[in-house]
Chains A and B, each alone.
Chain A
Amino acid sequence: MINDKINNRYYKTTGMILKHSPIGEADRLLTVYTANMGKLKLVAKGVRRTKSKLGGHLDLLNHSQLEVSRGRNLDTISSALSINSFQLLRENLRKTADAFYCLDLVDSLTPENEPDHNIFLNLVETLEKMLHIENPLIIWHFSFKLLYLTGYLPELYNCGNCQIKIQPNKHAFNSILGGIVCENCSIKLENNLQTHNNSLPISINTIKILRYFKTHTLDNIISLNVEQSVVLEIQKALLSHITASVERNLKSTLFLNHISKFISKME
């Protein structure tokens, strides 16, 4: 009986810290994607103080073990221990930008309190891979898999407008119509301004890679040797699809683009 009461008041979980915003004197409201409870909003008391015991364990991009006490509105974190703080990502500007993007994408695409262990695993595995491997396909594979897990996957086999099977021909990617559009339809749609503005040319190689994303693991993807132009097409297609799915521009993509331009200029 007493045990039951205690269990109702506390719970233990592990999660990735996706987002934080300051509240009150020294507290923060955290958005955490947990392994078994989905996305949660939790209060972390006093973490903005230098001597906070929790602070270091609850920074963004921390995979932490949490002990949470239930509150009337929001639950409060009572203790935290970081499992992995992804230190190598924090020390590299490009990887930091990629990590910010991954966190923002999970936050934007997932609803609160809906557990999906695969989303959690996808995030953690991707970040762990990013620690030691620099490959632009990693974050696009992550984005694709997240779209798949959240039900926003773009259509890659049939035309988004007339539903016929896509033949190796000239195609376009149209985020409004939810995926690839066949040659006939893309010509027809040129007159419609709204759909035309959301249309991107897409090569057969890019479609192949996107289809490969669906059936293969991250390790398979990393071993691929893909041209820069295809990576760019994948990036454009997925970002426009994400913008259409969440119905707003993802703020972290601005920084992502800024940093990749900035770093290529430096090199």
Chain B
Amino acid sequence: MESRREISAIDPVLKLIQELNKLPGIGIKTAQRLAFHLIKIPNDSVSLANAIIEMTNSIKTCIICQNITDISPCKICNNPSRNNKTICVVEEPLDVLAIERTGSYSGLYHVLNGCISPTNGIGPDELTIKLLLERLRLASENPNNTVEEIILATNSNLEGEATSMYLQHLMQPFKYKITRIARGLPTGAELEYADEATITKAMEGRYTL
């Protein structure tokens, strides 16, 4: 038992396995497999390690939209060709990526870093809501204000809807146009399997052809 403990303390491979094991979705077996794979490809391992170090050192939050970025303000906020009339409010940085992937939105963003989830102890104060309000207040006081519309693009589950409703109440004094992204059937979905709430929303949001 004593000798085993000694090995785990000195063995760099075991240390790596422990570190990999901390990542989401990586169990002890996968961590072992990854560690032994990295031993086989020393060059790639070094570039991976460097990439991680570089990422950790250079990552920060954009002072305007609160997205993660390497330069602040971020590339989206700094891009003059983007439409600065709309701000799209999303929960996570990954949601920005998802919307950017479509190429159908050219406005600006605001990242909340989560959603209101009372059962997990996350209330409005844990999110970047105050910073969003400050941003809107500054914009409305600015004579060259360009912002016209706020798009609420939080998830369409109970927590996302609660966050959206809360923001809508908070932003009413600003007199901006507040919109909520549409809800309905995803592409390729079958009506048969949809829940009532989705079908109701899909019916409400129908359009003339």
The chain A residues found within 8 Å of chain B, CB to CB, are 18-19, 21, 24-25, 50-51, 53, 56-57, 59-61, 82, 85, 87, 90-93, 96-97, 99-101, 103-104, 107, 251-252, 254-256, 258-259, 262-263, 266
Contact = CB atoms under 8 A, between A and B. Distances in A.
A261 B197 CA distance: 30
Contact of A251 (B118, B169, B189): B118
Given A56-B195, A56-B198, A90-B158, A103 B119 contact: yes
B205 interface: no
B169 A252 contact: no
A60 B158 contact: yes
Nearest to A22: B24
A24 B194 CA distance: 24
Contact of A93 (B159, B165, B193, B198): B165
A-B pairs, top 10 by smallest CB distance, nearest first, are A56-B195, A255-B118, A251-B121, A252-B118, A60-B158, A100-B118, A53-B193, A93-B165, A50-B186, A96-B162
Interface of B: 25, 116, 118-121, 123-124, 157-159, 161-162, 165-166, 169, 186, 188-189, 193-198, 200
A82 B120 contact: no
Interface of A is mostly: helix
B115 to A, nearest CB: 12
Contacts, number: 79
Contacts of B197: 56, 82, 85, 87, 90
Contact of A255 (B116, B158, B161): B116
Nearest to B164: A93
Contacts of A24: 25
A253 to B, nearest CB: 8
Contacts of A60: 119, 157-159
Nearest to B172: A266
B161 A90 contact: yes
A97 B166 CA distance: 11
Contact of B119 (A85, A107, A263): A107
A259 B188 CA distance: 38
Given A100-B118, A254-B123, A56 B169 contact: no
21 contacts: A21-B120, A25-B25, A50-B186, A51-B189, A56-B195, A57-B195, A60-B157, A60-B159, A82-B195, A82-B196, A82-B197, A87-B200, A90-B197, A91-B161, A93-B166, A100-B162, A104-B119, A252-B118, A252-B119, A254-B121, A258-B124
B158 A19 contact: no
Contacts of A99: 158
Nearest to A50: B186
Given A24-B25, A85-B195, 8 more contacts: A51-B186, A59-B158, A85-B196, A91-B165, A96-B162, A97-B118, A103-B119, A252-B118
A240 to B, nearest CB: 19
A96 to B, nearest CB: 5
Contacts of A90: 158, 161-162, 197
Contacts of B120: 21, 251
Contacts of B124: 255, 258
